[in-house]
Amino acid sequence: VQLVESGGGLVRAGDSLRLSCAASGLTFRRLAMGWFRQAPGKEREFVAAQWDYADYADSVKGRFAIFRDNAKNTVYLQMNSLKPEDTAVYYCAADSSIVDITSGRPDYWGQGTQVTVSS
C-alpha cells in the first residue's frame, strides 16, 4: 500500500492550494480517505475525512474541502483562505473505516507534504 502526497508549497495568507494523494496497492473505492497535519512542535491533528460523508476539523470548516476521484485513485484537499496557522506537514491517510480516520487511527499513512503559509 502506498500513499503519495503532492501539491505542497509556499503561499501567502489568503491564497489557495490543492493537495493530492495518489493511492496504489489497495481497492481505493472501498476506502475512507483523510488528511492530517502536523505543525512544528505540535502533535499530528485530524483535518478532514471522506467516505459516504465528509468530516472536517472545526479549524478548517468552510475553508477546506476534501474530495476524491475514484477513477484516478486520488483524494484531494482543496485549501482556501489559507492562514499562517495552517503551516504544517500534511499527511494523507486511508482506512476501511472513516471512524478510524477521524479518531486518528488510520491503517495507512503517506509520507507528507509541506505547506507553508506566510503572513
Q: Which residue has the cell 503532492?
A: 6
Q: How far is CA 55 from CA 6, 37, 66, 101, in A?
A: 21, 15, 9, 10
Predicted local distance difference test score (pLDDT) of residue 116: 98
Q: pLDDT tens for residues 16-39?
A: 999 999 999 989 999 999 999 999
Q: Which residue has the cell 486520488?
A: 74
Q: Are 56 and 45 in contact (CB under 8 A)?
A: no
Residue 113's contacts (CB-CB under 8 Å, 6 or more residues apart) are 5, 6, 7, 8, 19, 89, 90
Q: pLDDT tens for residues 49-72?
A: 999 999 999 999 999 999 999 999
Predicted local distance difference test score (pLDDT) of residue 26: 84
